[in-house]
Amino acid sequence: MSKPERHVFVCVQSRPPSHPKGSCGAQGSADLLRAFQDTFEARKLWGRFALTQCGCLGPCGEGPNVLVYPEGILYAGVRQDDIDVIIDEHLIGGTPVTRLYPTPEAWSNEP
């Protein structure tokens, strides 16, 4: 197996609803991960790119969060409608999707 061009991490961290930090899991990240998996399957992207679930990536209040390596680009508030854009523009095209960057406030509110 060859080295993937890019590696996508989808946060599936889950915390109790009363937790002040919130969580990507509470914002639908499990469904987002499944949609990424289905899209990778349908578009035959396995091997060219890697996809992994992970824990907390930081700005939980703006989740679900997705991280793309090797660039280390973090996306926040990712929805299923954003998957094809991330794949086409970033994974395949090499251009990050800046509209999905977390806000600066997301980092300043981290406990």
Residue found under tokens 């197996």: 1
**Is residue 67 situated within a structural domain?**
yes
Q: Give the pLDDT mean for 82-101.
A: 97
CA distances from 55 to 9, 77, 86, 108 (A): 9, 16, 20, 20
The enclosing domain of 40 has a CATH number of 3.40.30.10
How many angstroms separate the CA atoms of 63 and 105, rounded? 13
Strands 6-11 and 49-54: parallel
| Number of domains observed in the structure of the chain | 1
**pTM higher than 0.85:** yes
Structural domain that includes position 43: 6-108
Token match 């599936």: residue? 12
Q: Does 63 reside within a domain?
A: yes
Quick check: is 30 in a domain?
yes
Residue 77 lies in a domain: yes
On whether residue 53 sits in a domain, the answer given is: yes
Q: How confident is the model at residue 111 (pLDDT cuts 50, 70, 90)?
A: very low
The reply to whether 1 falls in a domain is no
Does residue 94 belong to any structural domain of this protein? yes
Tell me what percent of the residues of the chain surpass a pLDDT of 70: 94
Predicted confidence band at 106 (pLDDT cuts at 50, 70, 90)?
low
Q: What is the pLDDT of residues 36-55, one digit of tens each?
A: 999 999 999 999 999 999 99
Asked whether residue 31 carries a pLDDT value surpassing 60, the answer given is yes
